[in-house]
Chain A
Amino acid sequence: MELGSLQRRYIDFTTALFREGFLDNQYTQLQQLQDESNPEFVLEVVTLFFEDSEKLLDELSRTLDQQVVDYKKVDAHVHQLKGSSASIGAQRVKNVCMAFRNFCEERNQEGCLRCLQQVRQEYFLVKSKLETLFRLEKQILAAGGSVPVLW
């Protein structure tokens, strides 16, 4: 694909991500912190987010699968997931975490399990979207162009 189309595709894709609530302003904040001295900053932080989140999702499954559920533990994990998703602007993941914490407080196992399913879905969705975004950026740079700045 030629550079112009790649850049247009990038713009459309990014705009949609924000419009559909996958990402919020916090992601833009990350982009603003990236520069020539730290050209991979966003990728690095998001990669940490991916690693953290997958660990947490596994932990959550394990904890909710126990005979006697330790809701304090579940809540602690969700709190962490909420924090890291907020840090990178993964808005939909963050929002499910907020609902998830309410179910923890109520010690509602069914509610928690539903939220776990939902948060996992939202997580994998945003993960794949971000991977597409990074791929587009790479393609643009490889084609000798610069990534459009949308802020």
Chain B
Amino acid sequence: MAVVAEAQFHVLAVDDSLMDRKLIERLLKTSSFQVTAVDSGSRALEVLGLSEDLTSSAAVSPAHNEIEVNLVITDYCMPGMTGYDLLKKIKGSSSLKDIPVVIMSSENVPSRINRCLEGGAEEFFLKPVQLSDMKRLRPHILKGKSKEQQLQQEETSITSNKRKARDDELSPERRRPRLSNNSLI
């Protein structure tokens, strides 16, 4: 866990406003994140290695992505693909669905907020986004990372236990709910 906590995480920021992009980029960098800022949902999908034309089953696997993205933070109101549309595309992709997504909006519309949260967004930030909001990002990334780590650990133990031939028993084990008492920052 200590290694994960010290790593510099990479956030993909999506906003059609140049001003807001500049702001969010500065907020993120000041909070020690690596940042890639793009101006549209379709650009975001390109960066994530998922072309709009491909269905999730045809998506490029994470190993082939140019950059690893640990969290996506996106504006809600954008021309073309909205932040919500982008959220659904990410959550609908087998390779990207575990990337935490945070939505930003200057409008406090409860139905919009609920829709985003129900659509799989981790959080909803009201604009203008503050420096203090940045603290709320790391827990979402770490939550995803430790889930990823545990799955990887389980996979390693599976392949190293060839002699014990427990393969058929492993699927139910993997689906066992994870009891987390990891202390997150």
CA distance A44 to B27 in the complex (A): 14
| Contact B127 A33, beta carbon cutoff 8 Å | no
User: Which residues of chain B are near A39, meaning CB under 8 Å?
Assistant: none
Segment of B18-26, B49-57, B85-93, B141-149 engaged in the interface with chain A: B18-26
Our pick among B19, B106, B131 for the contact of A32 (Cβ within 8 Å) is B131
B30 contacts chain A at the CB level, 8 A cutoff: yes
User: Which residues of chain A are near B27, meaning CB under 8 Å?
Assistant: 33
A79 contacts chain B at the CB level, 8 A cutoff: yes
A128 contacts chain B at the CB level, 8 A cutoff: no
Q: Which of B108-141 contact A (CB under 8 A)?
A: 127-128, 130-131
Contact flags A65-90 to B (C-beta < 8 A → 1, else 0): 00000000000000110111011100
A52 contacts chain B at the CB level, 8 A cutoff: yes
Q: In angstroms, how far is the closest chain A Cβ from the Cβ of B25?
A: 10
| Contact B19 A79, beta carbon cutoff 8 Å | no
Interface residues on B, range: 10 to 19
B17 contacts chain A at the CB level, 8 A cutoff: yes
Max chain B C-beta neighbours (<10 A), residue from A44, A79, A83: A83
| Contact B26 A33, beta carbon cutoff 8 Å | yes
> A79-B106, A82-B106 in contact; A33/B30 too (CB < 8 A)?
yes
Q: Identify the closest chain A residue to B16 (Cβ).
A: A80
A45 contacts chain B at the CB level, 8 A cutoff: yes
- B contacts with A: majority SS: helix
Q: Which of A18-54 contact B (CB under 8 A)?
A: 26, 29-30, 32-33, 38, 41, 44-45, 48-49, 52
Our pick among A33, A52, A79, A82 for the contact of B131 (Cβ within 8 Å) is A33
Our pick among B19, B77, B130 for the contact of A84 (Cβ within 8 Å) is B19
| Contact B128 A86, beta carbon cutoff 8 Å | yes
Q: In angstroms, how far is the closest chain A Cβ from the Cβ of B88?
A: 23
| Contact A87 B131, beta carbon cutoff 8 Å | no
Question: Can you list 17 A-B contacts with CB-CB less than 8 angstroms, sorted by A residue number?
Answer: A29-B128, A29-B130, A29-B131, A32-B131, A33-B30, A33-B131, A45-B22, A48-B18, A52-B17, A79-B107, A83-B20, A83-B127, A84-B19, A86-B106, A86-B127, A86-B128, A88-B19
